[in-house]
Structure 1
Amino acid sequence: MIKFLNEYSYTIWLGLLKDYVFGIEWLDKNFSSVLKLKPLILIAGCPGSGKTVLACTISYANALRGRKVLYITFHESKEKLFKIMSDLGMNLNDVEVRGTFNFVKIPIPLSIDNLSDTIFKLISKYSPEVVVFDTINPIMTITKDESVRRVLLQNFFYGLSESINGMTILVAESIGEDINLSNIEFIADVVFILKQRISKGLISRSLMIKKIRGVEVSVAEIPFRICSNLGIVLYPPPILEEVSPEYEELELPCEVLKKVVGHIHKSMHIYITYPPDARLPHATIIPLSIALHNNLKVLVISYIYPPDVVKAQLLRALGLIELKGKEVEELIDKYIVVKSINPTAYSLDELYIHELRLVDSLEDVDVVVIHDVGLVARLSNASEYLSKFYNQLNYLRLKRVLTVRLGSYVSDELYRLNALLSSMVLRFEPVFRDGKFVGVQAYVWRRGTTPYIITSEELSRCLEEIAENLRRKCFSR
């Protein structure tokens, strides 16, 4: 049975894309023109970085289209490779049966002549349009003469694409981050460097686009994950030109917010903060009421509490404005999905990717609420955090999602950093008189408006309006 990684691989199988393909939608969208050259592609990286997965992804995508692939290896076990790729969504058995994928394991050649004879016999037998060498490192052990190696790389492999009138893929193993393949990089049409970094015991992977002949490369390094049933999933930064400035207008749930803010849009980003030692329920009620008031599906991602605790806190917060009972619980269950992530178990790259995958995995997500953002910010340096935070916001804007980020006020620097990219800021503060707590006030600012302090009296009236609106929603169904 044919196995498709996703809708895009199904499109490839239908033959709706011309010429050769990378098999990864973003790469094909941006760099497909280089494939018309019948290119020499170099995939290099350290052990475990995903080189073979990328080589198989390209091979499988072209084999699905009916292009014959010859996959040559000196060390891979066919059974092991086919099993691993099947787990990643690539059914190599199927394309092998169809005659478009041929796996050949050959012994390490004793000489250059022996190598060329073997390769050309295989080409004559299989008539491939794509030839893959995984890896070329054993070939480099044939001779220690650097000039002979240079001739082998620059003449034999580069000329192979012309010989088959197709595409050649070379996989190269390197130890460590420094990859010295200058003898072939300058003649290769495409150079992909797969990087694998370990920080605080956690792995993050990225694809470095070092060279694409004849194509402008504006994004040099892209984080990715290797996922079960999906293979390589890239998370490129969104192109701002593709992000519409405004989407659907949303109504605010009380008069004071309407007076101060007017309205908001689904593509906006709201930053809500409060003292770490006074985590006020208002910070939860306001974004929750915006979502419920507009019938929006919400994904809550919590860094500090498990899903059951988050839902209990939501119900407790609504209980403070006299919203209780089975109907309220059903409303929460209908509109809200809660996921919990331990941010210390991921590198920042992995965390960023994992969160976006959660959004992509759920249908019809209108609002993403992330709690507590101050924790992640403290676990990473400011520049790295800002980069991932910025790209995440634009990705969610592109998906027409309202983003709400809640977090304790842990430092002026982090407050300013989060406020910098926000469309709206709500900062809740307890109010004391004569040493006694008398209420909560909120500093509010929305892009295009002047800041305003919502008094505790105004905020109380706002909560009363929210309670009345939600009560009608709960009990009129």
Structure 2
Amino acid sequence: MSHLATSTSDEITIPLNAWYKVAGSIRRGSIILVAGYPGAGKTTLASQFAYQGASSGEPSLYVSFVEPREDFMANALQFNMDFRPLEGRGLFRYYEALSVSDPEALGDVVEDVLSQVDSMNAKRVVIDSVTAVEQLARDPPRAREIMHSALYLGLKRRGATALLISELPVGQEASGLGPEEFIVDGIIVLRYRVVKGKLERYAEVRKMRGTNIKRSEFPIAITPRGVEIVVPPDISSMPSGVKPRRSFSLLGLRIPEGANILVAVDPSVDPLKITTLLLASSAISAGLKVVVKSFIHGPSTIRDQVSECVGEDLQGKLLVPTYEPSSMSGGELLANLFRLVEDFKPDVVIDEGNNVLLDLLDRDDYTKVIYGCLPYLATNNVVTFHIYLWPSERVFEIPLAKFYDFVISVRPVGDLLEVRLLKTWGEVLPGGSTYLKASDFTSCDFIKSNGLRPIS
């Protein structure tokens, strides 16, 4: 669990990576409603909120009407959040309210919760869930009285920043709390939809008082770090292609740092040696760190082929992630990429067989993945190659093909491979063709001299 944002005396952050990109900070003392489908990540998000607060010295109280303490603790541990040491230091308290069964007892519990806030001087409070409070109150007017007079105003007067969790039936838009949705300072809605057998998760910021909502809806993923936001960086942070810090050469083509290249390889050609030798092996030989993600070749095949020209010791030079894309949503794929770049800090990322990924995802979701991927990698000064098995005459049918800095086609012409530039960054005309022989891929000297390498 990483603590991803700092807080000031007047502001606090939702503990999600890149939250500031979509809604900035929120004011201390705000009451935020988190509504969502079952399994959408509400409790995980609320746990992150409490854990980040307690870990930074802000006493946090978690009130649950739905989950026993031991279950909560065990589930939090799955995301590397161990509340027990914080509990021992008086920075966290779990208030279990499972035994409440009637409206009178509910009123007593709410009063006791506010007393707990006072006794530990809680700065952050989670109520899980207000849906349970509403059901226990039985009478809608009584539920609103408890929600507004006791919880909302009670927490407001104490200056606590609170997350109120609300259950949202699948397909329903509103939380069902009625006027309370207008009273709270912010509303976050967590939802998902099933696409090709996978849950595509996303969050929506309905309102957030005192902040500038830059993006109202964005993909999320639930990873070992908890709930993660996966949005691309602001395009203003992308590096200059006119005056790059360094450039690279590939078959005589100058490529600026942070560029993204689409390579359409004719389906009759196996791109393995293009991926591993012309790109990865050459780059590693020149001292660059390379990531290869292949959707058509196994990790051992990639490593063995790369080692032909650079030797067996690839530790710290080559990373070949192993995961099953058919079981991952677009948000999870992006979250994995962001974490990989953050941890490994590559110079080059090569995705081989992206056409397979396109088949596994909904086309709109795939387009969002690519749009999230390319600016992020460019901002981190990573040269990116996306290799598709795709006919060259239809290359611009690939999602966001016109968004790439370079577009290259590879196709057999007799006994040769034609490598043709269809789009060249910064040039009015696309460029010409280079022809490769099969023997070129057996010469490590040719690979190191003509493959991907830095030139400045």
Normalised by the length of structure 2, the TM-score is: 0.85
Give the 3-state SS of the residue equivalent to 2:183 in structure 1.
coil
Matching residue of 2:218: 222
Give the 3-state SS of the residue equivalent to 1:296 in structure 2.
coil
| 2:351 pairs with 1:370 | yes
Task: Name the structure where helix makes up a greater proportion of residues.
Answer: 1
| 2:264 pairs with 1:273 | yes
Give the 3-state SS of the residue equivalent to 1:191 in structure 2.
strand
Q: CA offset at residue 337 of structure 1?
A: 2.2
| 2:228 pairs with 1:233 | yes
| Matched-pair contact (CA < 8 Å) for 1:377–1:414 | no
The one-character-per-residue Cα deviations of 1:250-291 (angstroms, maximum 9, x if unpaired) are: 23155xx2xxx3x21220011112211123566334323652
Q: What aligned pairs does 1:158-197 form with structure 2 within 5 A after superposition?
A: 158-181=152-175, 182-197=178-193
Structure 1 residues 26 and 457 mapped into 2: Cα distance closer, same or farther (>3 Å)? closer
| 2:98 pairs with 1:98 | no
Deviating runs (4+, > 4 A) in structure 1? Answer: 16-19, 28-33, 331-334, 413-416, 457-466, 468-471
Structure 1 residues 270 and 166 mapped into 2: Cα distance closer, same or farther (>3 Å)? same
Structure 1 residues 419 and 30 mapped into 2: Cα distance closer, same or farther (>3 Å)? closer
Structure 1 residues 108 and 425 mapped into 2: Cα distance closer, same or farther (>3 Å)? same
| Matched-pair contact (CA < 8 Å) for 1:253–1:293 | no
| Matched-pair contact (CA < 8 Å) for 2:196–2:361 | no
Q: What aligned pairs does 1:293-442 form with structure 2 within 5 A after superposition?
A: 294-314=286-306, 328-330=310-312, 335-362=317-344, 364-410=345-391, 412=394, 415-417=397-399, 419-432=401-414, 438-442=415-419
d(CA) in 2 for partners of 1:67 and 1:378?
Answer: 47
Between 1:263-272 and 1:154-163, the stretch displaced more is 154-163
Runs of 5+ consecutive residues of structure 1 not aligned to the other structure: 433-437, 472-477
Give the 3-state SS of the residue equivalent to 1:252 in structure 2.
strand
- AA partner of residue 150 (structure 1): R
Q: CA offset at residue 394 of structure 1?
A: 0.7
The one-character-per-residue Cα deviations of 1:213-263 (angstroms, maximum 9, x if unpaired) are: 1222121223223333x2222212221122223443223155xx2xxx3x2
d(CA) in 2 for partners of 1:51 and 1:418?
Answer: 33
The one-character-per-residue Cα deviations of 1:101-132 (angstroms, maximum 9, x if unpaired) are: 12111232522x54333322343345133332
Give the 3-state SS of the residue equivalent to 2:268 in structure 1.
coil
Q: CA offset at residue 59 of structure 1?
A: 1.3
Structure 1 residues 35 and 109 mapped into 2: Cα distance closer, same or farther (>3 Å)? farther
Structure 1 residues 212 and 204 mapped into 2: Cα distance closer, same or farther (>3 Å)? same
| 2:435 pairs with 1:456 | yes
Normalised by the length of structure 1, the TM-score is: 0.82
d(CA) in 2 for partners of 1:270 and 1:33?
Answer: 36
Say which one has the larger Rg.
1
Matching residue of 1:435: none
d(CA) in 2 for partners of 1:97 and 1:225?
Answer: 31
Matching residue of 1:286: 278
| 2:8 pairs with 1:24 | no
The one-character-per-residue Cα deviations of 1:51-85 (angstroms, maximum 9, x if unpaired) are: 11111111122222333222222231111111211
Q: CA offset at residue 302 of structure 1?
A: 0.6
Q: CA offset at residue 416 of structure 1?
A: 4.7
- AA partner of residue 442 (structure 1): V
d(CA) in 2 for partners of 1:32 and 1:196?
Answer: 23
Between 1:280-289 and 1:74-83, the stretch displaced more is 280-289
Root-mean-square deviation (CA), in Å? Answer: 3.1
- AA partner of residue 74 (structure 2): K
Between 1:97-106 and 1:339-348, the stretch displaced more is 339-348
Q: What aligned pairs does 1:57-72 form with structure 2 within 5 A after superposition?
A: 57-72=48-63
| 2:424 pairs with 1:446 | yes
Q: CA offset at residue 371 of structure 1?
A: 0.6
d(CA) in 1 for partners of 2:399 and 2:292?
Answer: 22
Between 1:115-124 and 1:157-166, the stretch displaced more is 115-124
Give the 3-state SS of the residue equivalent to 2:368 in structure 1.
helix
d(CA) in 1 for partners of 2:132 and 2:336?
Answer: 36
d(CA) in 2 for partners of 1:69 and 1:332?
Answer: 46
**How many residues end up aligned between the 2 structures?**
438
d(CA) in 2 for partners of 1:333 and 1:343?
Answer: 24
Give the 3-state SS of the residue equivalent to 2:66 in structure 1.
coil
